[in-house]
Amino acid sequence: AVVSTQSTGTPQNFLKILSGIQVHGGSGKVIESGPNDYVFVNFVDHGGPGILGFPEGELHVADLTRTLEQMYHNRRYKQMLWYVEACYSGSMFASSLSPDMNITAHTASNTEESSYACVLDEEMHVYLGDCWSLNWMNNTEAIFPELESETVGQQYEIVKKMTTKSHASIYGDLDIIYNEPISMFMGHGPKAATPATTLTNMDKDSIPSPDVMLDYLRRKLARTDNGEEARSLELQILYHETTEEKVQVLLNDIVFAVTGSVDKTQLIKQESVTRIDDPECNKAVLETFFSACYKRHTHPYIIKYITSLTMLCNMDNYRTEQIVEAIVRNCHYNSS
């Protein structure tokens, strides 16, 4: 069965649907799986270090890991395959997904980078998709309906080579599921009456996903010949450009407030997130930042800079409460 969670809105509902728990709203469908079922999850949205974005809130790696462990122990599936299109999507699995849970996760990016939007439509002036997702769907359509001819591992390797802007990654079980045909998860179907349209040169006009909003406003400004609309767009662009600069200063102040050291602050800013060592701390500090400082869905570019908060959590020197207090204090100071 195909279950869409688009209209359910929240990460809490998503986890309930995944676990087979009834939710209010949407289609009412949930994944009623058992110990003999193959489950395929395709997730597409924004992301960040240890988070996946939803229209309302964020799904944190701590909560996803807890749900997957419960599903494993409750025998809610035989094998599970995740395809995740989001920035920093590797961080949801790199340090938390056990290879012994019969789950494999294929992600658009690793733990420390953006994924990319691709294929700019010159008439609608929007990007038609994300590079990695377009690549795996393109590859799947090319062999359809003979999906049994390609394994999960083979598709991963093919799509990894096709995706040149981000580093497609794979986590979890790299033994059994890796060698299963993708038809076990994507099913079979009749031969299409006409060949599928193949999109080529996916990386043309590609752009990091956190930058899409500002890119859209700038392109819209360049096209308009309406003076009033132009002034409105200029103000929106100025606001977001200024805010992006403020966010970097704010995070620098927060890190310094925690470490008390200029050298440590600079070092943390330069470090890349390779794993989430303290998922609960990461959840607490990011929830605080999004509620007290800037919301992710209205300021998507902040994702490029909040890795410093994850780095603080990864260090043994600092308590979660200490980091949260620094966030609240500095955000209150900067907004007053």
- Using CA atoms of 197, 199, 200, 206 in order, give the dihedral in degrees to the nearest 10: 170
Please confirm whether the linkage preceding 145 is cis (ω < 30° from 0).
yes
Would residue 87 show up in a list of annotated catalytic residues for this protein?
A: yes
Phi, psi angle pair for 324, to nearest 5°: -60, -45
**From 46, 60, 106, 299, active-site residue:** 46
Closest CA to 49 of 133, 130, 110, 118: 110
Cα 110 to the center of its chain, rounded Å: 10
Report the C-alpha gap between 306 and 333 in whole angstroms.
Answer: 18
User: DSSP assignment, residue 199?
Assistant: P
**From 24, 60, 73, 87, active-site residue:** 87
Map residue 31 onto helix, strand or coil.
Answer: coil
Residue indicated by tokens 């099913």: 187
Closest CA to 198 of 154, 135, 118: 135
Instruction: Please report, as a single letter, which amino acid is at residue 252.
Output: N
Report the C-alpha gap between 80 and 82 in whole angstroms.
Answer: 7
Q: Which residues are catalytic?
A: 46, 87
